[in-house]
Structures are given as C-alpha cells and as structure tokens.
C-alpha cells in the first residue's frame, strides 16, 4: 500500500523522496498505531477532539485546529528551520560546523541520549491512558488528549532521528520504544518517574507542571547539541511542550482557585470541612507537590556526573540557553556550587562546573518550577488566604545522588529514620489522601460544565469559548 507522505505524515524532511526512511516508517507506523490502539487513551477511538495539529513549522502552520479522531491524528515529522552555517557552540568542538550526520565516535552515546528521551514520550501516554474516563470537563479532556497526541508526535520525532541516522540499530531501538511498557515489571520504561502511576487528575496536572518541565529542560539542553538534526528536532518539540506545561500550571491553579473560593466563602481552612465540600484542601495539594517535585528531581541524575561532563565536552548536550550564557563555553576552569552531606550537615561545596552539569540543569528547572509556584500563590493571596505553597528542600525524598539513603525534611534538615517514619505522612500523600482524591474523580463531559473541585479556566483554547464542545462523542 502506498502512502501519500506529505498528506498522511506532514513533514519538512522531504519524506516523499527519501526511500530508505519511507521503508523504515512503513514498517514502524503500523506498529505505532497498534501501540496507540493498545496503550493510547482508553475508549476514545470514535471521539472527535478539537486538536491542534502541526502541519508545517511556520507560525501559521504549526497550530492548525480542527476536530480529529485521535487514531487519525496526523503525527508529523518536523525540524525547526535550519540555521545557516550553524556551529557547535560549546565543548572541545566549539566553533566547528554543526554535524549533519552522526560522528562515528559519538554514535552509541547519541543513540542512548535519543532513546532515553524518546522513551519518556510513549511512557507518559501509557501513564495517562485512563484519565479520559474521569475528566473534570470537556475542556480538560481535550487538553489531556492534546498532550497525549503530542507526546505521540515527540516519539515520532525521536524515531525519525533513529531511522534517519542510526541504521539498523536505530530501527531496532524504534521497535523497542513500542515494546517497553510503563510500570511493567519485566520490560519497564527506562526512567523511574515514568513507571509511576498517574492515577488521578491532580497527579496528571502535577506531572505536566513538574515532570513535563523536566522534559522542557532536557529538550532545551539537547536543542543546543552539535548534532544539528537533534537540535532542530528538539527546538520544534519545545514549542509543543509549552502547551503541556500550561495544562499543568493552569490545572493546579484552577484547583487552588476553587478550594480558596470555598475557604473564603465558608471562612474555614479545616481540611475535613473542605473535603466534605468536595474540594481538595491546600495541605494535600502541597503533599502532591512535594511528591512530584522530589521524584522528578531524580530525573536529572547525580549531582556530580562524568557522563554529563563528557556529553558537554563532546558537544552532544549543552546547558540551558547555552548560547545566551556569557562564558568560555568550555568550562575548563569554572566552578559550580553543589550540595554535599558531611555528618548530619548539608553543606555547599564548589566543584568543577563541568562535572556539575546535571545539578546546573536541575537548578535551572527548580527556578522555573519556583516561578510557577509563585504564580499559584497569587491565587490565595488575592482571596486573602494566608496559605503559601513552598518547594521542599532539594534533598527531600530523593533516591538518586548525594541524598540517596538519607532522610531530609522539607525544610532541609537531615532527620532520623524515626522522625521520618513519624512525619512523612505529613509531607507526602498518604494512601488515604490518594483515596480521597480518587473519590472526587467523576466524569464531567457536558460542554461548559466543570467538576466541583476545579474552577473553569479564564479562557478557552484557540479563542473558543469555555463552553465550546471541545470533544464530540459519536
């Protein structure tokens, strides 16, 4: 069966005339659709969703809105427009022309980087596949599905790189990406956070706000890569990632809004009373924030990493906004502060900046998360409620790096096993908390109607009204 490539698979990589790529994708695409059918959003094949589809990379083409049945979504392959004479901007190859083909000596490293990034994309679709059944509104359902199809497209983007630049190995990796399963004991996804469950919408919003923001920072670092196709692919993915961050940030903000409205109206901050009114009390939201923040923090890896150093020196993965930073872009002598544990004290030590690149990217992410939390805090502030959300200490609830094996309180004290056992239920969602949140999850699927625990958004998608029929069921 022949495929009209430019119609079926919108692309700007001249797919129509690349026979090798066509053959690879002809094999992979049916497998992808099978995976989507099996692991994509549950019971949604006939629903028509008001989705944004990228049909080209120019500003007018990449935000094309229309009703689409998800299995018929046109997953495209897009690279941000090439920058003429782009150079490698950091590391030992700084100043040399950017690579258009994979350099032999970095082949396996680059493949690993791409596979690791690519693996997170289908993983999150799998984690979120049941959420459509409990959506708080059609608007939110549409946003969930938009996130899902775009994670799917990000998988395509990574598979394109594997197919186009890594030959048979790349094709095999492309298949393996469809075979691993989030949370599967025998064949799990590569990164731990992507094997956690996303059981409810609060978790989903926290995930998109916090964990997709890790995605943003990883993509931004890869967008600096000396391997130009990877750089261009990631730059385009970043524009889509922004929507996911928006869904998370505004989702939590709307939950806070709703809870604060009832707090102000009934003049109470009693979690039991608020729960009885069917909204999520702010301390519970804080616990979810603590959980997602700490689990996602682990995704950046160990504070000191020789892998991160060689990725940088070799020109494969840069720093966030590398080209806007004003230094030598080699980090031969620069230092960077990193936390360390001495006895029962957490101290800061300066280490070679080159080895601390994971920590640096984590810090950039922390700053960004903090700015979002500050925006959330404006909601209670406006309604005259004294509660403020706070990010826990970087060492809180960590499983990777210098804090692994230690217990750190949210305010940054190293504490005993006994204190942790006594207190951790105040800091992390308990089974009871999760059951309560789960109990609120009913499906609201009437245009303009919203579940009781979440406020409507300030405006609709693509200038449509809030009560627009964002999903049509057939």
Partner 1 sequence: MTTETAELVRQHLIDPEICIRCNTCQEMCPIGAIEHDSNNYVVKFEVCNWCNDCIGPCPTGAIDNYRNVTRDRPYSLEEQYGWGALPAQVDLAPGEGAEADLPADVARMTSIATAGQGGPGSPPWSAAHPYVNLFAPSRPATATITGNYRLTAADASADIRHIVLDFGQTTFPVLEGQSIGILPPGTDEHGKPHAMRLYSVASPRNGERPGYNNLALTVKRVTEDYDGQPVVGVCSNYLCDLDKGAKVQVCGPYGTSFLMPNHPNSSIMMICTGTGSAPMRAMTERRRRRMALNEGGQLMLFFGARTPDELPYCGPLGRLPKALIDVNFAFSRVPGSVKQYVQDKIRERHEEVFRLLQDGNCYIYICGLKGMENGVVEAFRDICRQHGGDWEKLKPELLAQARLHIETY
Minimal distance in Å, beta carbon 228 to partner 1?
Answer: 17
Minimal distance in Å, beta carbon 293 to partner 1?
Answer: 17
Name the nearest CA neighbour of 161 among 212, 215, 71, 236.
Answer: 236
CB neighbourhood size of 40 (10 A): 24
348 touches 355 (CB < 8 A): no
Q: Closer to partner 1 at the Cβ: 170 or 248? A: 248
SS3 for 99-157 is ECCCCHHHHHHHHHHHHHHHHHHHHHHHHCCCHHHHCCCHHHHHHHHHHHHHHHHHHHH
Instruction: Give me the residue label for tokens 């079926």.
Output: 8
Q: Closer to partner 1 at the Cβ: 269 or 368? A: 368
CB neighbourhood size of 16 (10 A): 15
Q: Closer to partner 1 at the Cβ: 229 or 248? A: 248
Minimal distance in Å, beta carbon 424 to partner 1?
Answer: 31
Minimal distance in Å, beta carbon 239 to partner 1?
Answer: 5
Cβ-proximal residues to 351 (8 Å cutoff; 6+ apart), any chain: 304, 335, 336, 337, 338
Token pair of 177 as six digits = 């990406």
Which conformational region is residue 14 in: left (phi greater than 0), alpha (psi within -120 to 50 degrees), or beta? left
Minimal distance in Å, beta carbon 245 to partner 1?
Answer: 6
How many helical (H) and strand (E) elements, i.e. helices and strands, does the chain have? 14, 7
Name the nearest CA neighbour of 77 among 144, 164, 142.
Answer: 164
Q: Closer to partner 1 at the Cβ: 64 or 330? A: 64
Q: Closer to partner 1 at the Cβ: 138 or 437? A: 138
Helix (H, G, I), strand (E, B) or coil at 51: strand
Q: Which residues bind partner 1 (CB under 8 A)?
A: 58-60, 62-63, 216, 235, 238-239, 241-243, 245-246, 249-250, 367-368, 371-372, 375, 378, 458-459, 462-463
Minimal distance in Å, beta carbon 459 to partner 1?
Answer: 5
Structure letter (DSSP) for residue 314: T
Q: Closer to partner 1 at the Cβ: 59 or 343? A: 59
Adjacent-strand bridge partners of 336: 351
Instruction: Give me the residue label for tokens 């129509």.
Output: 16
Q: Closer to partner 1 at the Cβ: 235 or 398? A: 235
Minimal distance in Å, beta carbon 336 to partner 1?
Answer: 19
Q: Closer to partner 1 at the Cβ: 217 or 453? A: 217
- The DSSP string of 355-398 is GGHHHHHHHHHHHHHHHHHHHHHHHHHHTT------PPPTTTT-
109 touches 19 (CB < 8 A): no
Q: Closer to partner 1 at the Cβ: 220 or 346? A: 220
């Amino acid at each position: 069966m022949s495929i009209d490539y430019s119609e079926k698979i919108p692309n700007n990589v001249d797919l129509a005339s690349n026979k090798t790529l066509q053959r690879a994708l002809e094999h992979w695409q049916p497998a992808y659709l099978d995976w989507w059918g099996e692991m994509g959003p549950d019971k949604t094949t006939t629903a028509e969703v008001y989705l944004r589809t990228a049909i080209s990379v120019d500003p007018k083409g990449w935000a094309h809105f229309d009703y689409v049945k998800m299995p018929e979504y046109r997953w495209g392959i897009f690279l941000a427009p090439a920058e003429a004479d782009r150079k490698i901007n950091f590391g030992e190859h700084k100043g040399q022309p950017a690579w258009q083909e994979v350099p032999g000596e970095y082949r396996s490293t680059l493949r690993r980087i791409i596979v690791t990034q690519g693996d997170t994309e289908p993983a999150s679709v799998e984690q979120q596949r049941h959420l459509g059944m409990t959506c708080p509104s059609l608007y939110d359902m549409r946003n969930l599905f938009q996130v899902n199809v775009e994670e799917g497209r990000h998988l395509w983007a990574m598979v394109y790189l594997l197919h186009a630049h890594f030959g048979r190995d790349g094709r095999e990796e492309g298949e393996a990406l469809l075979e691993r399963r989030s949370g599967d004991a025998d064949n799990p996804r590569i990164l731990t956070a992507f094997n956690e469950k996303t059981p409810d919408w609060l978790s989903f919003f926290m995930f998109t706000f916090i964990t997709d923001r890790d995605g943003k920072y990883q993509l931004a670092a890869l967008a600096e890569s000396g391997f130009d196709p990877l750089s261009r692919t990631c730059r385009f993915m970043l524009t889509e990632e922004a929507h996911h961050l928006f869904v998370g940030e505004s989702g939590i903000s709307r939950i806070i809004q709703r809870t604060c409205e009832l707090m102000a109206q009934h003049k109470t901050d009693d979690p039991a009373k608020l729960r009885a009114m069917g909204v999520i009390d702010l301390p519970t939201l804080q616990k979810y924030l603590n959980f997602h923040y700490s689990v996602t923090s682990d995704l950046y890896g160990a504070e000191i990493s020789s892998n991160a150093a060689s990725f940088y020196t070799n020109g494969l993965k840069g720093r966030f906004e590398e080209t806007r930073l004003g230094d030598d872009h080699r980090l031969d002598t620069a230092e960077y502060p990193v936390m360390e544990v001495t006895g029962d004290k957490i101290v800061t030590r300066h280490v070679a900046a080159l080895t601390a690149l994971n920590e640096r990217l984590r810090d950039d992410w922390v700053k960004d998360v903090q700015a979002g939390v500050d925006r959330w805090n404006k909601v209670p502030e406006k309604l005259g409620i004294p509660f403020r959300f706070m990010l826990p200490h970087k060492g809180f609830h960590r499983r990777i790096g210098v804090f692994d094996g230690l217990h750190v309180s949210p305010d940054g004290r190293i504490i005993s096993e006994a204190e942790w056992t006594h207190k951790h239920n105040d800091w992390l969602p308990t089974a009871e908390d999760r059951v309560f949140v789960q109990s609120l999850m009913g499906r609201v699927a009437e245009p303009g109607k919203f579940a009781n625990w979440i406020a409507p958004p300030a405006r609709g998608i693509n200038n449509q009204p809030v009560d627009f029929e964002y999903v049509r069921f057939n």
